Amino acid sequence: MFPLKITKDDNQRLMAALCENMLIVSMLLSVFFNPDVFAEYCHDIQPALFITAPKEIEALSGSCLEIPCSFKTTDQFDDGINIIGVWMKNNLAFSSDSNVVIFKSSRSVNKYPLNITGNLREKNCTTLFTDLNTSYTDKYFFRIENGPFRATACADPLQINVKDSPWSPSINVPSDLKEHQSVTVTCSAFTPCPHSPPELTWNLQQDSLRQTEKNTDGTFTTKIQENITLSDTHDGYNISCSARYPVTDKSDIAETEVTLSVSYAPRNTSASISPSGLVSAGSRVELSCSSRAKPPPRFIWFSISKDGATNVSVEQVYRFNGTQRGKFYCVATNHLGNQTSSFILVNIISEKRAEKTEEELYYGELNFLPASYFLPASSASHQDGEQQETLYAEVKVSADGLEGLYAEVNNKRR
Ligand SMILES: *[C@@H]1O[C@H](CO)[C@@H](O)[C@H](O)[C@H]1NC(C)=O
Ligand SMILES: *[C@@H]1O[C@H](CO)[C@@H](O)[C@H](O)[C@H]1NC(C)=O
Ligand SMILES: *[C@@H]1O[C@H](CO)[C@@H](O)[C@H](O)[C@H]1NC(C)=O
Ligand SMILES: *[C@@H]1O[C@H](CO)[C@@H](O)[C@H](O)[C@H]1NC(C)=O
Ligand SMILES: *[C@@H]1O[C@H](CO)[C@@H](O)[C@H](O)[C@H]1NC(C)=O
Ligand SMILES: *[C@@H]1O[C@H](CO)[C@@H](O)[C@H](O)[C@H]1NC(C)=O
Ligand SMILES: *[C@@H]1O[C@H](CO)[C@@H](O)[C@H](O)[C@H]1NC(C)=O
Ligand SMILES: *[C@@H]1O[C@H](CO)[C@@H](O)[C@H](O)[C@H]1NC(C)=O
Ligand SMILES: *[C@@H]1O[C@H](CO)[C@@H](O)[C@H](O)[C@H]1NC(C)=O
C-alpha cells in the first residue's frame, strides 16, 4: 500500500519537519487533506484515513489509559466485512510491517497490553492501554484494514507520554470573591483512565461526591465539588486537595493548595482616644479609628454638633489641640459598605474654669446604654465638684441624654 523505503537520513529530515509542523498538525487533527501539512509526513501520499483523538496524551506509569478515538475514511468503507483496527509504533514507514505493528484487533498481533474497546463498525477506535510504563512513551499511528481498503492515519500521529509522577489536582474557585456570595469550589484531577479514577480528598466537607466526567475531547476528569457561602472568616483560608492515583505496587499522591481571598465590608470599627486619662488644657488629642476590612477601608471622622455631623478628617488618626468639648465618631468605608464606630466624647473644660477650680481636662469614652441610666446620674450630679468628676468615670449615659449631661455639669460648674 505504501511502497516506501525510508533511509536513516530521510527519517531524521522527516522528524525535523514533523516537529516544525507539530502545532499546525495538532490544529488540523481532524481536518481533511491539507497537502502542506502532510506532504512530508505521509510522504506525498494522500491519506485515506483520519482519526479524531488528542494529538498528545499523558499517562501514568503503572496505571491505564483510555484513548478517545473516532475515525473517518475518504474511500469507501464496507462495514459489512471484517474490520481490523491496527496500532503501530513510531515509524514513518506506514506499512503493515510486523516490526512496527504492536496490536491488531484480530489478535494476530498483541505485543502491547492494549485493546480497541470502541466499535470499529461505528467508526469508534477508542483504545484502552491496560498497564503502562515509561517505556511506552512514543508516537503511535492507527490503521484500518477492511477488505481491500487498507489505510494508515499518517496525518494523525498520537503522542503518548508516560509519566512517573501524578498530576496535581486543580482547585477551581471563581475570582473576585466577596462575603455573602455563594460559590462552588471544585477540585478536579486529570483522569487518563476512567476505569481507575483518582481518589480526591480535601479539607472542606469530607463526603463530597466524586464524579468522573467526560470532557469535550473525550478525555476524562474526576472532580469533587462543594458550595460555600463566603464570609470574612474565609479570607486567608487555605483549601488543599490531594489526588491519589491507584497504580500497581504503590499509590501516587499529588496535592494542591489555594488560599482564598475574600473581600468584605468593614467590621469591628472602633474609635479610641489618646491620651486616655486626664490631660492639661490645649494639648494634643489623637482620635484613632480602627477597622477590619478587605480591601483596607478609608476613614472619615465626624464631629457632632447641634447642626448635625460634619466631617473633620479623612485620616485614620485625627489629631487636634483640645480647646472645646465635642462628640466624635468615625466611619470606615470600602466598596462593599461602611461601618460607624461608637461615639467618642472629648470633654474640655474652659481654661478659665480650669484655673479657678484647678480642674483638669478630662477625655472620656462612653458607651451608650438605655436612657434610664441617665436619670439617677442627673440627680446625683447635684453635689460638689469632686463628685461631678467621679460622675464621668462611673456613669454611663444614653446618646440622647449626653447633651443633657453636658448642660447639667456645665450649669453646676458655672
Ligand atoms: C477488548 O475489548 C472488547 C470490547 O470492549 C472486549 O469485548 C474484549 O473482551 C476485550 N479483550 C480483551 C483481551 O480485554
Ligand atoms: C466509543 O467507545 C467507547 C468505549 O466503548 C465508548 O465509551 C464511547 O462512548 C464511544 N464513543 C462514541 C462516540 O460512541
Ligand atoms: C515496561 O513493561 C514491559 C512489559 O509490559 C517490560 O518488558 C518493560 O521492562 C517495562 N519497562 C520498564 C521501564 O519498567
Ligand atoms: C451548588 O450550587 C449549584 C447551583 O448554584 C447546584 O447546581 C449544585 O447542585 C450545588 N452543589 C452542591 C454540591 O450542593
Ligand atoms: C496558608 O498557606 C500559606 C502558605 O502555604 C501560609 O503562609 C498560611 O499561614 C496558611 N494560612 C492558614 C490560615 O493556615
Ligand atoms: C468583631 O465583630 C464581630 C461581629 O461582626 C464579633 O463577633 C467579634 O467578636 C468582633 N471581634 C473583636 C475582636 O471585637
Ligand atoms: C498643640 O499643642 C502642642 C502641645 O501639646 C503645641 O506644641 C502646639 O503648638 C499646639 N498647636 C496649636 C496649633 O496650637
Ligand atoms: C466633607 O465635607 C465637605 C464639605 O464640608 C464635602 O465637600 C466633602 O465631600 C466631605 N467629604 C466626605 C468624604 O464626606
Ligand atoms: C454608608 O453606607 C450607606 C448606605 O449603605 C450610605 O447611605 C452612607 O452615605 C454611607 N456613609 C458613608 C460615610 O460613606
Q: Which atom of ligand 1 is nearest to the CA of 115?
A: 1
Flag whether 99 is in a domain. yes
Residue 27 covered by a domain: no
Instruction: Report the SS3 class of residue 252.
Output: strand
pLDDT over 50 (residue 337): yes
Radius of gyration over alpha carbons of the chain, in Å? 40
Confidence check: pLDDT of 23 > 90: no
Contact residues for 110 (Cβ-Cβ < 8 A; gap 6+): 103, 104
- Band of residue 55 on the pLDDT scale cut at 50, 70, 90: very high
Burial 314-346 (b: 16+ CB within 10 A, else e): eebebebebeebbbbbbbbbbebebbbbebbbb
| Residue 21 reports pLDDT greater than 90 | no
Kindly state whether residues 212 and 94 are assigned to the same domain: no
- Residue-number span of the structural domain to which 396 is assigned: 359-379+386-413
Of the candidates 163, 188, 205, which is a domain's last residue?
163
- Does 248 lie in the same domain as 285? no
Distance (Å, whole) CA 89 – CA 112: 10
Q: Please check whether residues 131 and 214 belong to one and the same domain.
A: no
Any idea what DSSP says for residue 47? P
Q: Specify if 219 maps to a domain.
A: yes
pLDDT at res. 16:
44
Best residue for ligand 1 mutational test, from 108, 115, 126 (most atoms within 8 Å of Cβ): 115
> Which atom of ligand 6 is nearest to 292's Cα?
1
- Nearest ligand to the CA of 135 is 3
- 238: in domain: yes
Residues 49 and 120 in one domain: yes
Residues 194 and 108 in one domain: no
Please report the sign of the dihedral spanned by the C-alpha atoms of residue 261, residue 266, residue 267, residue 272. positive
pLDDT at 84: 95
pLDDT of residue 99: 58
Backbone dihedral angles phi then psi of residue 217, each to the nearest 5 degrees:
-85, 10
Using one digit for the tens of pLDDT, what is the confidence trace for 137-154?
A: 999 999 999 988 999 998
Residue 188: alpha-carbon gap to chain centroid: 12
| Cα distance between residue 287 and residue 343, in whole Å | 11
Per-residue pLDDT band for 353 (boundaries 50, 70, 90) equals: low
Residue 67 β-bridge partners = 127
40 and 128 co-located in one domain:
yes
Rounded CA-CA distance 41/20 in Å is 11
pLDDT at 397 exceeding the cut of 60: no
For residue 315, what pLDDT is reported?
Answer: 95
What pLDDT score does 42 carry? 80
Q: Which ligand 5 atom lies nearest to the CA of residue 236?
A: 13
Helix (H, G, I), strand (E, B) or coil at 412: helix
For 96, phi and psi rounded to 5 degrees? -90, 20
Give the Å distance between the CA of 30 and the centre of ligand 1.
26
Domain count for the chain: 4
Handedness of CA 97, 99, 105, 108 (dihedral sign): positive
| Domain membership flag for residue 20 | no
The CATH number assigned to the domain holding 255 equals 2.60.40.10
Do residues 337 and 390 share a domain?
A: no
Q: CA distances (Å), 39 to each of 45, 94, 126, in order? A: 7, 14, 27
Coil, strand or helix: which one is 190? strand
Same domain, 244 and 295: no
Contact 134, 121 (CB under 8 A): no
Q: Given 3-state DSSP classes, what are the helix, strand and coil percentages for the chain, each rounded to the nearest 5?
A: 20, 40, 40
Please name the residue that has the C-alpha cell 479657678: 356
Helices (H), 150-284: none
**Average pLDDT for residues 41-55, to the nearest whole number?**
86
User: Of 26-30, 156-160, 374-378, which one has max mean pLDDT?
Assistant: 156-160
Domain end (from 218, 235, 260): 260
**Over 70: is that where the pLDDT of 271 sits?**
yes
What atom of ligand 8 comes closest to residue 298's alpha carbon? 13
Residues 80 and 174 in one domain: no
Q: Is 9 contained in some domain?
A: no
Same domain as 409, residue 306: no
Among 144, 163, 182, the domain boundary falls at 163
Backbone angles phi, psi at 293, to 5 degrees: -160, 155
Q: Are residues 213 and 186 in the same domain?
A: yes
Which residue's CA is the closest to the ligand 2 atom numbered 12?
124
The one-letter amino acid code at 166 reads P
Parallel, antiparallel or unpaired: strands 114-116 and 127-129: antiparallel
Residue 41 forms part of a structural domain? yes
Q: Enter the pTM of the model.
A: 0.70
Q: Which of 311, 313, 318 to mutate to test the pocket of ligand 8 (most atoms within 8 A of CB)?
A: 311
- Regarding whether 335 and 398 lie in a shared domain, the answer is no
Query: Does residue 25 fall inside a structural domain?
Result: no
CB-CB contact of 293 with 250 (8 Å): no
pLDDT at 232: 95
